[in-house]
Amino acid sequence: MAAGPSGDRPAGEATAARAAKATTAARATTAAAAPRPGLARHPTLAIGVDVGGSGIKAAAVDLGTGELASPRHRIRTPEPSSPAMVLPVIRHLVDLVRTDVGRDDLPIGVCFPSVILDGRTMTAANVDADWVEYPALTALSNAVGGPVGLINDADAAGLAEMRYGVGRGEKGVVLLLTLGTGVGSGLFVDGQLVPNTELGHMEIRGKDAEKRSASVQRVVRGITWPEWAAFLDEHLRAIDRILWPDLIILGGGVSKNAHRFMDMLKVRPRLVPAHLRGDAGIVGAALWGAKTAKVRIPPVRIPPARVPEAGPASAPEEPPA
């Protein structure tokens, strides 16, 4: 395994790394169903890491299909979710995936719930304030011992859906919203990403819109699916008044329960649930990592218009990223 050059880690991080490794390794959960990959079947792999307000997830991704090519590992986001606590967890997850695939040379992409400008995390709505204007790209590269691509989490999910999921081949103005701890937005115009749109923070009735429409709010407020769907519909209508998108893709872990709320949404644009569901961030981060590393990205090997299966009536909701 490629060990990170310890000398170039930010001060105090090595200690934090050991502490975080000890406390978080015990809580790591690994998706059992994913088969161990046959590497021969996965000629172009990259590692994607999805940092969220409640969980940090990582896996290897087959860039030909957008499918996970390793088990998916998840560790609860440490508290506080400061760089000193989160960076060692990312390193630990990357090492787990490197071990799974038996390679330490794969491109790595990390997606993060923040505006990303020039390698810095500029905002921190659902993570510790120490991330504001933090040189995250440099710190991440030091933590994992190599180059990394860094991108906003909803932009990453959007890239994944536009390449491998329901956005594939969609022209015009396409908006992907991730509904989780917050609401993220990935905006595409004729397939091109317009980064850092942050539509979760539009003000509606005197509040950040995501404080009502994020899927976690249904649980936090103890409200019903129709009550939460009304909040989401209000947010979607406010977005429509400004952007008039051709298509809105609803993603995040809640998209596996799309059958519980999609019919209640009355907003004008075409609405579809995301295909890649809670994995879109990992997939998009891996894709971004590969683009950043300038490796050859294979042509997509999936049918252009995959139709998402209807979830079972009682699909358990995945914890928000």
The binding site for ligand BGC (CB under 6 A) comprises 113-114, 123, 125-126, 152-154, 178, 180, 182, 184, 198, 200, 210
Give the shortest CB-159-to-ligand BGC separation in angstroms. 13
Give the shortest CB-184-to-ligand BGC separation in angstroms. 3
Measured distance CA(312)–CA(61) in Å, rounded: 26
Nearer to ligand BGC by Cβ, of 62 and 231: the residue is 231
Nearer to ligand BGC by Cβ, of 69 and 125: the residue is 125
**Both structure tokens of 138:** 């440099």
Nearer to ligand BGC by Cβ, of 106 and 238: the residue is 238
Give the shortest CB-123-to-ligand BGC separation in angstroms. 6
Give the shortest CB-252-to-ligand BGC separation in angstroms. 8
Give the shortest CB-295-to-ligand BGC separation in angstroms. 26
Nearer to ligand BGC by Cβ, of 137 and 154: the residue is 154
Nearer to ligand BGC by Cβ, of 167 and 180: the residue is 180
Exposed e or buried b for every residue in 237-249, given b needs 16+ CB within 10 A?
A: ebbeeebebebbb
